Amino acid sequence: MNTLYFLAQQTMFFAIPLLIVALGGMYTERSGVINIALEGIMVMGAFVSIFFLNIFQGVLSGQVLLLLAVLVASLAGGLFSLLHAFASINLKADQTISGTALNMFAPAFAIFIARMVTGLQQIPFQDTFHIAKVPVLGSIPLIGPILFQNCYITTYLGIGIFIAAKIVINKTKFGLRLRACGEHPQAADTVGINVYKIRYAGVFISGVLAGIGGLVFVIPTSTNFNASVAGYGFLALAVLIFGQWRTGRIFVAAFFFGIMKTFASAYSGIPILKDMAIPNEVYKMIPYVATLIVLVFLSKNSQAPRAEGIPYDKGSR
Amino acid sequence: MKKQGLLNFSASALAVICGLVFGLVILLCTNPAQALPGLGIILKGGFADGMSGFGYMLYIATPIIMTGLSVGFAFRTGLFNIGASGQFTMGAFVAVYIGINWTWLPPQIHWIVALLGAAVGGAVWGLVPGILKAFRNVNEVISCIMMNYIGMYLVNHMIQSLIYDPLRSQTQPVSAGANIPKAGLDQLFSSNNLNIGILIAVVFVVLIYILIEKTTFGFELKACGMNRNASKYAGISVKKSLAMSMVIAGALAGIGGALMYLAGSGKYMQVLDVLSPEGFNGISVALLGLSNPIGILFAGIFIGYITVGGNNLQLLNFGPEIIDIIIAAIIYCGAFSLLFKHLIGKLIKRTKKEEESV
């Protein structure tokens, strides 16, 4: 049973950042802008917020500091993503161009600045955010150990973001307009929706969430930041497509991938698997192979937003 | 047509200038006193160390020209090959494996076989996303990302079980005949790293140019990229085209891997859980080169050029990452090319009008 709890807790560390970033990706793509810069934005969000942690950890500590860092990460990610919004909405450029540029810029910038300021490439921080057991809730049988022991506040943040994202895109006026701009911007424009504004909002939300996702990824897995989020931005893109651009399915996809990834990294803690002497690399491959196989069966009816990736030109209405 | 090329070129040149100005600003912000000399070193780039710097530049450029070709070719056929990294790694592994084990081959053809093997390795890695896209409508971006990781772990495993040198934690050295011939280029440029790899890359640039621009097959691939339904209506087999595009793209990236690790430059494959950056640099090269084979050749050399400059920049205590920042800025400015072209076009028109009125 303890193994099971441990696996569940580990899954959260992998799945929650994927979930947050993929939801961000959903907002930009449902508004009609492809954002392959998620990776770069994650790096930027993580870099700025961990720099913030590094500076303020003497003054503050614990959850207050972490929540402030989340705020910083969201701002950094949001602002950084505006560069992508400008190039792909105003300049009507190919959306892979600025995406690639941002992906390249973020890690280089992070290393360059870190070296200039601290002399080292890595930025260390103290992990004062780990929660061994949430009072009261942690004592509930079954749910307690899975959700409320050995955890970070970011897990609940991620679930909160998921619920909010689901409501906003499906139940609000803004969500409806956003979806309209991704499916048929010309029609949206004729009924008086400002397509550019909505798309800006979509990209900005993706930046905010990707920035947060970067921080959320680094906090439980490491105590120093080395200008990398290990390809999680690209994986989030994959989760987004895997989840067919829908909130519920993205949730399932993120956790599917998270569980697979957990098995891959924690199999040696499971006695039966450890005895089978299968090479380490095979386990590491499992999440990716499994995703590919699932996709083969699920992709026939792709539900990608119709106008995704096409710059909106008022003149072509 | 010629005018269009000139327009493209001047837009790219403007983007390069903007990127360099941005780099200068960053240098000024970090260390104002050394900023201008720093920019000077970047601009001198591959020419700073005489012929050997020039040779080093070509050595850096060779693999990214190949991955750039791979990504650019796929772009032209309407596919986003983000999987060049995995294809590059697969190709490199096959080449190194053949280089180490197939020593019964005569040295004159050993390296050629290794190159062909690399092409097959890369092609297989491109074929999977191609087939999935053609027959099961799987988005090639996601399948390529998955294939990148699968390739990386698979190669890590195969290196460790087949060709590992545990003492140095890298692959065993390839046999001498498997190294790409130097044909005197190393002496000409007094650079040990240089071999005919760069010439092979140029040959592929020309081949891909001919394929895209001058053959029916290339036209079909391009047509599929522009409008899949119209191509189908015109009797082109879209499924075959999609698969073939990815196979060719994969083969190009795979050969890039071979050219990098068979260069005899002392660079060995290692077991790291990191996707090879050459694949992602290929995206940058393809974008800089506007997905045109000739453009990609120059873009690759250009990146090699300022990368050498960036390495020299460490003399002034600047991080070499400034180069990546500048390249990112240049690519970003490429997004302005529509705007640039519009402005330049206007300027040309105006000067013409003035000439006429005079």
Q: Are both B137 and B196 inside the same structural domain?
A: yes
A2-302, which class in CATH?
mainly alpha
Average pLDDT for residues B114-118, to the nearest whole number?
96
Q: Is residue B152 part of a domain?
A: yes
Q: Is residue B212 part of a domain?
A: yes
Residue B126: what pLDDT?
A: 96
- The region of weakest confidence among A189-203, B13-27, B45-59, B159-173 is B45-59
- Is pLDDT of A197 > 90? yes
Determine the residue of chain A that is closest to B150 in CA distance: A285
**Res. B124 pLDDT band, cuts 50 70 90:** very high
Spell out which residues of chain A touch residue B286, defining contact as CB-CB under 8 Å: none
How many CA within 13 A on the CB side of residue A203?
Answer: 28
Among B46, B87, B56, B54, CA closest to B69:
B87
Q: Is residue B278 part of a domain?
A: yes
Q: Are both B93 and B154 inside the same structural domain?
A: yes
**Could you report the per-residue pLDDT of A58-113, keeping only the tens digit for each?**
888 788 999 999 999 999 999 999 999 999 999 888 888 899 999 999 999 999 99
Cα B258 to its chain centre, rounded Å, is: 13
Domain holding B175, by residue range, is: 51-317
- Is pLDDT of A179 > 80? yes
Q: Is residue B163 part of a domain?
A: yes
**Res. B358 pLDDT band, cuts 50 70 90:** low
Q: Are both B96 and B7 inside the same structural domain?
A: no
Determine the residue of chain B that is closest to A301 in CA distance: B137
Determine the residue of chain A that is closest to B274 in CA distance: A230
Look over chain B and give the mean of its residue pLDDT values, rounded to a whole number: 89
Q: Are both B227 and B99 inside the same structural domain?
A: yes
Spell out which residues of chain B touch residue A241, defining contact as CB-CB under 8 Å: 139, 141-142
Interface test with B, best of A241, A286, A288, A293 (most B CBs within 10 A): A288
Average pLDDT for residues B26-51, to the nearest whole number?
84
Q: What percent of chain B has pLDDT over 70?
A: 98
- Is pLDDT of B43 > 60? yes
The answer, for A265 touching chain B at a CB cutoff of 8 Å, is no
The answer, for A251 touching chain B at a CB cutoff of 8 Å, is no
Of B26, B153, B339, the CB nearest to A285: B153
The answer, for A293 touching chain B at a CB cutoff of 8 Å, is no
Q: Are both B357 and B334 inside the same structural domain?
A: yes
Distance CA B121, CA B241 (A): 20
Distance CA A291, CA A282 (A): 14
**What sign does the CA torsion over A18, A24, A25, A27 have?**
positive
B190: left (phi over 0), alpha (psi -120 to 50) or beta: left
Q: Is residue B281 part of a domain?
A: yes
Q: Are both B226 and B103 inside the same structural domain?
A: yes
**Cβ contact B136–A296 (<8 Å):** yes
Helices B50-76 & B197-214 angle (0-180, nearest 10): 30
Burial class (CB in 10 A: 0-12, 13-18, 19+), B67: buried
Q: What percent of chain A has pLDDT over 90?
A: 53
Spell out which residues of chain B touch residue A83, defining contact as CB-CB under 8 Å: 332
Residue B32: what pLDDT?
A: 85
Q: Is residue B173 part of a domain?
A: yes
Among A217, A219, A247, CA closest to A235:
A217
Q: Are both B242 and B346 inside the same structural domain?
A: no
Spell out which residues of chain A touch residue B275, defining contact as CB-CB under 8 Å: 231
Residue B312: what pLDDT?
A: 86
Determine the residue of chain A that is closest to B282 in CA distance: A100
The answer, for B202 touching chain A at a CB cutoff of 8 Å, is no
**Res. B2 pLDDT band, cuts 50 70 90:** low
Look over chain A and give the mean of its residue pLDDT values, rounded to a whole number: 89
Q: Of B317, B335, B350, which one is at a domain's C-terminal end?
A: B317
**Could you report the per-residue pLDDT of A4-63, keeping only the tens digit for each?**
888 888 898 899 999 999 999 999 999 999 999 999 999 999 999 999 999 998 888 788
Tally the domains of chain B.
Answer: 2
Among B288, B124, B269, B292, CA closest to B208:
B292
Q: Are both B91 and B7 inside the same structural domain?
A: no
Q: Are both B82 and B195 inside the same structural domain?
A: yes
Count Cβ–Cβ pairs < 8 Å, chain A vs chain B.
143
Spell out which residues of chain A touch residue B42, defining contact as CB-CB under 8 Å: none
Q: Which amino acid is at B315?
A: L
Q: Is residue B43 part of a domain?
A: no
**Res. A149 pLDDT band, cuts 50 70 90:** confident
How many angstroms separate the CA of residue A165 from the nearest CA in chain B? 23
Please count the helices (runs of H) and the strands (runs of E) in chain A.
13, 4
Average pLDDT for residues A178-195, to the nearest whole number?
93
- Is pLDDT of A302 > 80? no
Q: Are both B208 and B323 inside the same structural domain?
A: no
**Res. A131 pLDDT band, cuts 50 70 90:** confident
ipTM, interface predicted TM-score of the complex: 0.89
The answer, for B22 touching chain A at a CB cutoff of 8 Å, is no
**Cβ contact B337–A93 (<8 Å):** yes
What sections of chain B are H helices per DSSP? 2-30, 32-44, 50-76, 84-101, 107-136, 140-162, 185-188, 197-214, 216-226, 228-233, 238-261, 277-288, 293-312, 321-334, 337-357
Q: Which amino acid is at B150?
A: I
**Cβ contact B335–A93 (<8 Å):** yes
How many angstroms separate the CA of residue B261 from the nearest CA in chain A? 22
Interface test with A, best of B25, B31, B325, B333 (most A CBs within 10 A): B325
Spell out which residues of chain B touch residue A242, defining contact as CB-CB under 8 Å: 142
**Cβ contact A292–B338 (<8 Å):** no
Q: Is residue B39 part of a domain?
A: no
- Choose between B62 and B46: higher pLDDT: B62
- Is pLDDT of A317 > 70? no
How many angstroms separate the CA of residue B321 from the nearest CA in chain A? 5
Query: What residues are paired with A224 via a beta bridge?
Result: A124
**Cβ contact A111–B321 (<8 Å):** yes
**Res. A265 pLDDT band, cuts 50 70 90:** confident
Among A205, A147, A169, CA closest to A15:
A147
CB contact residues (below 8 A), chain B span 108-147, against chain A: 132, 136-139, 141-143, 145-147
Residue B286: what pLDDT?
A: 94
Residue B311: what pLDDT?
A: 86
CB contact residues (below 8 A), chain A span 60-89, against chain B: 83, 87-88
Q: Which amino acid is at B98?
A: I
**What sign does the CA torsion over A184, A189, A193, A197 have?**
positive
**Cβ contact A104–B336 (<8 Å):** no
